[in-house]
Structure 1
Amino acid sequence: MTITATSDVLTERGEELRSQGQINEDLGKLSDTTVDILRQSGVMKLLAPVEYGGTRAHPVEFAETVMRIASLDGAAGWVSGVVGVHPWELEIMSPKLQEEIWGADQDTWVSSPYAPMGVATPVDGGYQVTGHWQFSTGTDHANWVILGAFVGGADGKPLQPFQSVHIVVPRADYTIVEDSWDVVGLKGTGSKDVTIKDKFVPGYRVINQADLFSGKVAREAGKTDPIHRIPFYSLFPLGLTSAVIGIAEGALHAHLEYQRNRQQGNGFKSTQDPYSMYAVSEAAGEIRASRAALLDNISRIYDTAARGREISLEERAVGRRTQIQAAWRATAAVDTILSRSGGNGLRMNNPIQRFWRDAHMGLAHAIHVPGPTYHAAVLTELGLEPPANLSSMV
């Protein structure tokens, strides 16, 4: 399929995508119409290899596209931000695996999660895998999945010290657990559980997580483009935080549309309430600042990679802090917006409350936990080496 300019598609079909928000939530997964719009937009191809129809775009373009989609429907934006990153990792893996995934269909989606909720035991030619994973975003529309797993011993238990791998598995080898996604927000993402019971995964579909994080996998694959010189935890969180910020922009849009002609109980229009207008304007500024900070951060990291310089631990940690803080600032702004929307803003037929729930669900992702990363960032600024428990996601 030829990629259509994303902005054109989202302009032409933006209101159609917005209208799918409640439908996606009711389904507990993305509707076929939503998936069709996302495929037509080319968002999942932005970070994909050009050999399989991708554009290998600048990460800012990816982030801005995810924000735009999330502002129309939070679930669609979240799926785009998560699933859209996976081709970036797959491009540094085995060419044989890439051909298996995209050779027959370049529109194939690959879901995740990366958390090591399974055990991969080395056997001749690969690994024997068993596990139960939560949070496989967009899994109903994916034909492959990337899963995190601990390397296991002969007893089937994780080896000590822990060693983690990413394994890539076709749809025929895992089971989607229906009715496993009953949550307060981002319901339309269909982030269901998946299970595997004693399946063989050949070695070329497996990479060592430590080697991935250190950049060794990309170097050995001969990938020298700036996008592949960016550390994993500088790029992977980008899609998630972009979705949260886009959701905040969607909440702001819905609030402004609602308030435009809203009559308050005292007989005055909402637009005549200076205190409410001030609060909402301040929230809008916070969302805009969050967006600017996130895009500036990834631009700086990309530019450093493009100059051929390694991104330092301090740059990585401070960058992660910027990314996390952007998500928290944007979500706090959504709280302000909701509190100025009156009781009707919490009615289930008002999209403001759905964006509010989606933002908080996105903020709950492990990638947005501030404590360890904030601690690690300030230690690096002091010239100190943060311990592994603080820097593991930096």
Structure 2
Amino acid sequence: MSEEHVFAEVRRLAPTVRERAAEAEARACVPEATIKELAGSGFFRLLQPRRYGGYAADPSVFFRCLRTLAHACGSTGWVAAVLGVEAWQVALFNPQAQEDVWGPDRDARICVSLAPVGTVTSAAEGYRLSGRWSFASGCDHATWAQLGAIVRDDEGKPVEMRTFLVPKEDYRIEPVWDTVGLRGTGSNDLVVEDAFVPVYRTLSADGIASATRPGYAVNPEPVYRLPLGSMFTTSIASPVVGMAEAAYDEYLDAMRTRIRVTGRAPVAEDPFAQVRVGRAASDIDAAWLQLSRNIADLYECARSGDEPPKGLRTRLRRDQVLATERAVRAVDLLMENAGGGAMRVGDSVLQRAWRDVHTARGHTTNDPEKALALFGKHAFGFDVDDPML
């Protein structure tokens, strides 16, 4: 199949994913059947290297899939984003690390928790790793985890941030996920107790950001030339837009037949409700149009062999955080006008989207002040440097 065929398959699966949204929430985990169907569609291979049967696809296809899946079920879109983009990140590692992951199983999936909370000690040809990592979305469906930790010198002073690839047999999952929104993501804790990680299965923050990533030796496709910050943050923002679109569609469907108690007129005839629809639709459109434009411009740089300029990278971060902000604002506008029935406990698409977008907003990459300050600093001519650029 081509990458566009994968997108078509994801669209075909969307109604079934939507039917399982309540099940995902009840189980606090995306159903295994959904993961198997997504794997069968080729979705998890979109950002996987071609040498392991992947597509090394145009990233815009990947992000369109995330938008589609999140429109059907916010939790499924979120888990698809995390597991899907990790295939891209593992492609940056030493070729032997990639072989460890995909050599025995080309369908291997990787979850992630990058907060540097672990404890690291040096060992012969590697490191010993211990600790507890939270928010590992989709970990029940992964056989590897990428975990962050700070390497320190003999005096305990920080030397560098590194990420560590750890197989499932070296960690255990602690089921702690119980939240208001994104309940189906199964973003549980991972616990590692003195696991050995060889040097080649680690990658420094500088290595991820460098123009000579280890994975370049075997993966020449342009998608792997994109900045980590751009890929990861857009993977977080794209599902949020899909969630907002689901809320918008559900609101329109519900309000076409709802009669307002005061005045006894249909809500659809209320000019103030119509204004809310106009504002919400514009916010959602603006969010997606800017995300799409920035990724297209970034990918064109990679295809041309050019280094993405800082202006484009800060613009992408600016628009990424504002895409999330616009999506949340759109859903709030609609929820405020949806009536008390929308707040009832039950299988409400609008209420689920409202809970999901607010939970997603709390992700560290969606902090608007930091990203907007980076853009403003660069616009004024100052040098900017951030791991999420």
Same fold flag (TM > 0.5): yes
1:191-250 CA-partner distances (Å, limit 9, x unpaired): 001011111111111111111123331576354432121111111111110011111111
Match for residue 149 of structure 2? 149
Q: Deviations over 1:81-101 (max 9, x none)?
A: 111111111112233222322
Partner letter of residue 376 of structure 2?
V
Decide whether the 8 Å contact of 2:10 with 2:43 is kept in 1.
Answer: no
The secondary structure found in structure 1 opposite 2:306 is coil
> For the Cα contact (< 8 Å) 1:126–1:201, is it kept in 2?
yes
Give the match for residue 294 of structure 1.
Answer: 291
Contact 1:218–1:228, Cα closer than 8 Å, also in 2: no
Aligned to 2:33: 33
Q: How does 1:132-171 map to 2 (within 5 A)?
A: 132-154=132-154, 157=156, 159-160=157-158, 162-171=159-168
Name the structure 2 match of 1:352.
350
* TM-score scaled by length of structure 1: 0.93
Gaps of 5+ in 1: none
Q: Which amino acid aligns with 1:73?
A: C
Q: Percent identity?
A: 32
Cα shift at 1:41? 2.6
Rounded to whole Å, the distance in 2 between the matches of 1:33 and 1:169 is 25
Equivalent residue letter for 1:259: M
Q: CA deviation at 1:122?
A: 1.8
CA distance in 1, matches of 2:29, 2:211: 34
In 1: Cα distance, 2:239 partner to 2:2 partner = 25
| Cα 1:197–1:154 shift into 2, 3 Å | farther
Write the distance in 2 (CA, Å) between the matches of 1:236 and 1:221.
22
Which residues in structure 2 correspond to 1:16-95 (within 5 Å)? 16-95=16-95
TM-score by length of 2: 0.94
**Hey, what's the Cα distance between the residues in 2 that align with 1:375 and 1:218?**
31
Distance 1:153 1:197 in 2: 21
What is the match of residue 243 of structure 1?
239
Q: Secondary structure at the match of 1:327?
A: helix
1:309 counterpart = 2:303:
no
- From the superposition, tell whether residues 125 and 2 of structure 1 become closer, same or farther in structure 2 (CA, over 3 Å): farther
| 1:393 matches 2:388 | yes
Contact between 1:127 and 1:200, CA under 8 Å: does it hold in 2?
yes
Which of 265, 269, 277 aligns to 1:268? It is 265
Q: How does 1:198-217 map to 2 (within 5 A)?
A: 198-217=194-213
What is the deviation of 1:366?
A: 0.5
- Aligned amino acid, residue 21 of structure 1: A
Mapped to 1, the partners of 2:28 and 2:195 lie a distance apart of 28
Change (3 A) 1:237 1:267: same
Q: In structure 1, how many angstroms separate the alpha carbons of the residues matched to 2:214 and 2:276?
A: 47
Q: Is 1:285 matched with 2:282?
A: yes
- Count of residue correspondences: 387
Within 2, Cα distance between the matches of 1:251 and 1:40? 28
For the Cα contact (< 8 Å) 2:74–2:243, is it kept in 1? yes
Closer, same or farther: CA 274–86 of 1 in aligned 2, 3 Å:
same
Residues 344-384 of structure 1: per-residue CA shift (max 9 Å, x gap):
11122212111111111111100111222211211111111
Task: Supply the distance in 1 between the matched residues of 2:215 and 2:125 (Cα, whole angstroms).
Answer: 23
Given residue 112 of structure 1, which amino acid in structure 2 is its aligned partner? V
- In structure 1, the partner of 2:105 is 105
CA distance in 1: counterparts of 2:283 and 2:329, whole angstroms: 9
Query: Which of 366, 369, 373 in structure 1 is aligned with 2:367?
Result: 369
Instruction: Measure the CA separation in 2 of the matches of 1:122 and 1:258.
Output: 59
Q: Which residue of 2 aligns with 1:320?
A: 317
Partners in 2 of 1:255 and 1:142 — Cα distance?
35
Residue identity in the other structure for 2:133: W
Judge conservation of contact 1:17–1:37 (CA < 8 Å) in 2.
Answer: no
Deviates most, 342-351 or 60-69: 342-351
Q: Does structure 2 conserve the Cα–Cα contact (< 8 Å) formed by 1:46 and 1:56? A: yes
**Contact persistence 2:209–2:387 (CA under 8 A):** no
Contact kept? 2:75, 2:182, Cα under 8 Å: yes
> Which is worse superposed, 10-19 or 219-228?
219-228
How far apart in 2 are the matches of 1:384 and 1:92?
A: 29
Structure 2 gap segments, 5+ residues each: none
* 1:172 counterpart residue number: 169
Aligned pair in 2 of structure 1 residues 58, 275: CA closer, same or farther (>3 Å)? same
What residue identity is the alignment partner of 1:165? Answer: R
